[in-house]
Amino acid sequence: MFSITHSGAKPSPPDDFSRRRHTFQLHYEDALRELQGKFAARPGLAPAWTALEGFLNTEGKRLRPLVFLSAYELLDETRAGVAPVIYRVAAALELFHAFALAHDDIIDGSQTRRHQPTLHRRLAAETGGRNGENLALVLGDILFGYTVENFLLPGLDPARATAALRYFSTVAQDTGLGEALELSLLRTPLEAVTEEDIFNTYYLKTTRYTFEAPLVIAAILAGAPEPVLLSLHDYARPLGLAFQIENDLHETSGPESADDLRAGVKTLFLKRCHDVLPAEEAVALRAALAQGDPAEVHQHLNQRGTATKVVKELTAETAAHFQEARQVLLAAPLRPEQREGLLALTAFIHRHSRHSEARAGSASA
């Protein structure tokens, strides 16, 4: 019989990101209880809240609040610690993300989010039929309004809170513009779409609210000087591009993962594959895309090893974008400990850039 022996070594303390995530979760739950109160005052909305609560409690990477909290801790010159109201702003960023996902899943016809039913599917189970999509749209709008409310809580410096909310409003508009641009490209023939078109959608739809907003809003609330804000803006751009390309590569893991292909979204991966195919095969690929059949699209992409070559190419470009982000930090007007902290954040983002629906070992891992 074997006995378990202990080395006597103390367990490793949680790293900064685990600590921030744990504390964030406590304040996020506070925000959800407050939101629940708004629904509880309207008893007829009990089924809607059940679905929404399940959706909001299906944890993702919590990337946006973690980026925000990390930047705030590093940039706050008072060293007074992170006040509860700052965590509520972090919760607001996560709720805005939930709003965007709820609408995006309807647009893309997605059935799962983080390996669980999407909000509109949860609502359909509660209310039946098409009403699930309609309710998901409205609940998303409620989340957006609640996001704004969390920027106006007592305890924030009024001038900084106003500046942060003004900045957030431009990001929210650009997120919508990015979605609108992506949708407008659905009917544009793939051969007519440029990489610049795709990069514009990536910047507006992903970079601004996933990285730029958490970083810059944190800097505004921490009272960072203008040159630091500008550096964070420059840092976010390659970071967002790398992150979005990593997410696009999720589409290469198989037809069952191909919501964007099914919806006709023009991704950089798809554009690159199309442009290197011989003319006749490129025509066949476009015909498969028009039919909305991901299995047939994957078959065309895998001819001549095209997809494998493009994945390799884009993986190398992703690494180069992360390196570009690091170079921006090295040149930024930051104190050494701030720079080191943001470099650690870059490594954290790189490790957690896999798509929420990706399978272990997939191309986007």
Q: pLDDT tens digit string along 283-300?
A: 998 988 888 777 888 888
Alpha-carbon dihedral sign for residues 246, 251, 257, 262: positive
Which pLDDT does position 254 carry in this prediction? 60
Q: Quick one: average pLDDT of 167-194?
A: 96
77 vs 232, residue with greater confidence: 232
Cβ contact 217:164 at 8 Å: yes
- The C-alpha atoms of residue 283 and residue 272 are separated, in whole angstroms, by 14
The pTM score is 0.91
pLDDT of residue 192 exceeding 90: yes
Residue type, 75: L
Q: Which residues pair with 116 in a beta bridge?
A: 113
Predicted pLDDT at 79: 84
Strand partners, 112: 117
Distance of CA 364 to the CA centre of its chain: 15
pLDDT at 98: 97
Nearest to 89 by CA among 141, 18, 15, 167: 167
Alpha carbon distances (Å) from 229 to 85, 100, 165, 315: 21, 25, 15, 29
pLDDT at 185: 95
Band the pLDDT of 133: cuts 50, 70, 90. Answer: very high
**243-264, pLDDT tens digit by residue?**
999 988 876 766 555 667 777 7
Average pLDDT, the chain: 89
Q: Which of 254, 265, 220, 258 has its CA nearest to residue 361?
A: 254
The reported pLDDT for the residue numbered 298 is 81
State what percent of residues in the chain have pLDDT above 90: 73
The reported pLDDT for the residue numbered 353 is 77
HSE, CB side, 13 Å, CA atoms: give it for residue 224.
28
Q: Which has the closest alpha carbon to 64: 32, 101, 34, 115?
A: 101
What pLDDT, on a 0 to 100 scale, did the predictor assign at position 271?
94
What values do phi and psi take at 357, rounded to 5?
-100, 5
Question: Given this model, what pLDDT does residue 365 score?
Answer: 32
Question: Is the confidence at residue 3, as pLDDT, over 50?
Answer: no
pLDDT of residue 295: 82
- Mean pLDDT throughout 312-325? 96
Asked if the model's pLDDT at residue 349 lies above 60, the reply is yes
CA distance 26 to 254: 37
> Could you tell me where the DSSP H helices lie in the chain?
16-40, 46-56, 63-75, 84-108, 119-127, 131-149, 158-184, 195-202, 213-222, 226-248, 259-263, 268-276, 279-291, 294-301, 306-331, 336-351
pLDDT at 359: 47
* Residues 215-218: contacts with CB under 8 Å, at least 24 apart: 215/67, 215/68, 215/71, 216/167, 217/68, 217/89, 217/93, 217/164, 217/167, 217/168, 218/67, 218/68, 218/69, 218/70, 218/71, 218/72, 218/75
Give the per-residue pLDDT at 243. Answer: 95
Residue 183 has pLDDT above 50, yes or no: yes
pLDDT for 363 equals 34
Element (H, E) at 112: strand 112-113
Span of 56-65, 67-76, 287-296, 353-362 with lowest mean pLDDT: 353-362
pLDDT tens-digit readout, 11-60? 334 589 999 999 999 999 999 999 999 999 998 999 999 999 999 999 88
Give the CA angle between residues 209, 215, 216 to the nearest 5°: 90
> Residue 6: what pLDDT?
33
